[in-house]
Amino acid sequence: DDLYVDNALSAMLQEAERLQADVFCGNEFYLTAADPLPVDLSGLKEENLLKVGFLTREESMQEGRCELAGSMKERMDRWLAHRYHWSVFGKLFRTDFLREAGISFPDIRLGEDHLFVLNALLKARVYADQVRSPYIYRTGNVSSISRGNKNPGVFLNAMRAIFESFDLIDTALEGIGFFEEHPEYIHSLKAFHIRRLEEGFAVPKYHEIGREALSSNEEVQALFSRYFGKMGSFVEKTLFDSYDLRGTDAAFESFFRYENLKRLREESEFFSFL
């Protein structure tokens, strides 16, 4: 139910082929700031679109400018700073590259896009990004399936994704010499990934559903036992204690609310994540 703007894909493909890129991405996109939202987003007016970028306002004015990813250190520094973003939309991936590198979406329900794009950034010979806004992302007055109200399944999916992510990231980094020389980046990548899952899903759901309801949920109990055996109850208590200390309104969750998007659009047509 999202939308690529007119001719965006053909223009991106042409530039990706020119650069012989394994991955090509537009580093800006649009969020919808309209209530109600039309079914067909192509009819939205400019004042109902908030332009969002993973770059500075000055860089955003250089429309069409391309950059190629450099060393592994530069790639990871830019990833951790949101300069290379984990979203899959607005990106083209060369299928031969994905097959040769063995890259696919991991078998988890949340955060799989994050790990897919990270893996591509790690393995791509040519990873290109361009100052371009090819994509309109539907937000504002719709409910995400992955964030369904008081849905313990969302919390369970977030926990599974967090617990699985340690091994998944280790597998992605395996055999890359940079991480043997700089193990501190391994910790940073895992913390970055887990923070996104907690702020976007686990912590909001924890406070929405409540500790008592989650602790008494048989599926939650079984999940902690599956991953931590006899230590399951202890890990659950420790984790839930930490969530009690965190705010009920995570930044990632609140950013996409219509009221916030409308306010941002009234202040400026452009918002930078940097």
Do 36 and 123 fall into the same domain?
yes
Sequence-separated (6 or more) residues with CB below 8 Å from residue 8:
26, 132, 134, 135
Do 209 and 197 fall into the same domain?
yes
> DSSP assignment, residue 15?
H
Please tell me the predicted confidence (pLDDT) of residue 92.
Answer: 98
Please tell me the predicted confidence (pLDDT) of residue 231.
Answer: 98
Do 154 and 241 fall into the same domain?
yes
Do 155 and 247 fall into the same domain?
yes
Do 182 and 215 fall into the same domain?
yes
Do 157 and 209 fall into the same domain?
yes
Sequence-separated (6 or more) residues with CB below 8 Å from residue 141:
34, 35, 36, 37, 258
Do 74 and 203 fall into the same domain?
no
Domain range for 266 is 3-140+257-272
Please tell me the predicted confidence (pLDDT) of residue 37.
Answer: 87
Please tell me the predicted confidence (pLDDT) of residue 259.
Answer: 86
Please tell me the predicted confidence (pLDDT) of residue 95.
Answer: 98
Instruction: Please give the order of strands across the beta sheet that includes 270-272.
Output: 3-4, 135-137, 28-32, 49-53, 270-272
* Count of C-beta atoms within a 10 Å radius of residue 233: 13
Do 8 and 86 fall into the same domain?
yes
Do 57 and 88 fall into the same domain?
yes
Question: How much is the pTM?
Answer: 0.92
Block means of pLDDT (10 residues each) for the chain, 274 residues, are 91 97 97 89 92 94 96 98 93 99 97 98 98 90 56 94 98 98 98 94 94 97 98 98 82 73 92 89
Please tell me the predicted confidence (pLDDT) of residue 147.
Answer: 56
Do 246 and 261 fall into the same domain?
no
The three-point CA angle 107-257-245 to 5° equals 70
Do 16 and 44 fall into the same domain?
yes
Please tell me the predicted confidence (pLDDT) of residue 240.
Answer: 98
Please tell me the predicted confidence (pLDDT) of residue 145.
Answer: 47
Q: Calculate the alpha carbon distances from 98 to 123, 193, 198 in Å.
A: 9, 21, 28
Please tell me the predicted confidence (pLDDT) of residue 153.
Answer: 95
What burial letters (b/e) apply to 198-224, b meaning 16+ CB within 10 Å? bbbbbbbbbbbbeeeebeeeeebeebb
Number of folded domains that form the chain? 2
Do 96 and 149 fall into the same domain?
no
